[in-house]
Amino acid sequence: MRGDPLANLHHVLRWTRTVYTVADLADPFAFAAEGTPSCTAFHAVVNGNCYLDMSDGSPIALKPGHFVLLPRGGKADHVSTPGAGQTGMNAPRIEKVRDNLFLMRNGEGGDRTVIVSCAVQFEHPAAQRLVQLMAPVIHLEASHSEYADCISRTLKLISTLAGDLGHGDDILMMHLADALLNKMIHTSILRSPKVQSGWLAKIEDRQIGIAVGLMHD
């Protein structure tokens, strides 16, 4: 519907470029999840436990079903122990599955942690303005969502597919990651006071919403 704000929001938040990484790591580990200012980064923990070590804040403890969204990108390290540097850690081996899909492993042994990450670039100019209104780091837990069970099952399926990629499984895995990212972005936007009182309030206006819909058409 042209006047539906969430439908218009979906149009604005379409992305053109996505890079996916699935990290299956044995403790101890530490690797940099570099991001660029033009990309929105998303990290989901499927199995195990880790910390997201930000250069300008306290480490964020992550468990299965935890999501971190970095709307404006930025440097972040995934570490098994808070404050751990890269020195002395087993360097992960990176396997290129597709031009935009990479698997990362650091050997056998130790408790294992599986992290699904992706970085996206939005095609709509308004999306860049929108992410500027969002908090720089957004930490959500699947258990706090009304879709907790569905999200948990989706994460388990992604983990299973990544562990033994068969014919076409990589495509399915990327679509599942897209669905999780889309849901997290929408949830983050709808919970943001700045967005609610600003940009989203405009497209919720019936006449503006219709105008946005006509432009998309």
Q: How far apart are CA 201 and CA 39, in angstroms?
A: 24
Task: Please indicate whether residue 2 or residue 126 has the higher confidence score (pLDDT).
Answer: 126
Could you tell me the pTM of the whole model?
0.77
Average pLDDT score over residue span 81-90: 63
CA dist., res. 210 & res. 215, Å (int): 9
pLDDT of residue 155: 83
Q: Which H or E element spans position 45?
A: strand 40-47
Contact (Cβ atoms closer than 8 angstroms) between residue 208 and residue 201: no
Q: Taking CA 58 as the corner, what is the angle to CA 140 and CA 13, rounded to the nearest 5 degrees?
A: 40
* Averaged pLDDT for residues 108-136: 81
Q: Residue 1: its pLDDT value, please?
A: 44
Residues 6+ apart with CB under 8 A from 205: none
84: pLDDT confidence band, cut at 50, 70 and 90?
low
Mean pLDDT, residues 170-174 taken together: 86
Condensed to tens digits (0 to 9), the pLDDT of residues 17-76 reads 788 888 888 888 888 765 566 788 888 898 899 998 877 778 889 998 888 888 888 778
78 pLDDT above the threshold of 80: yes
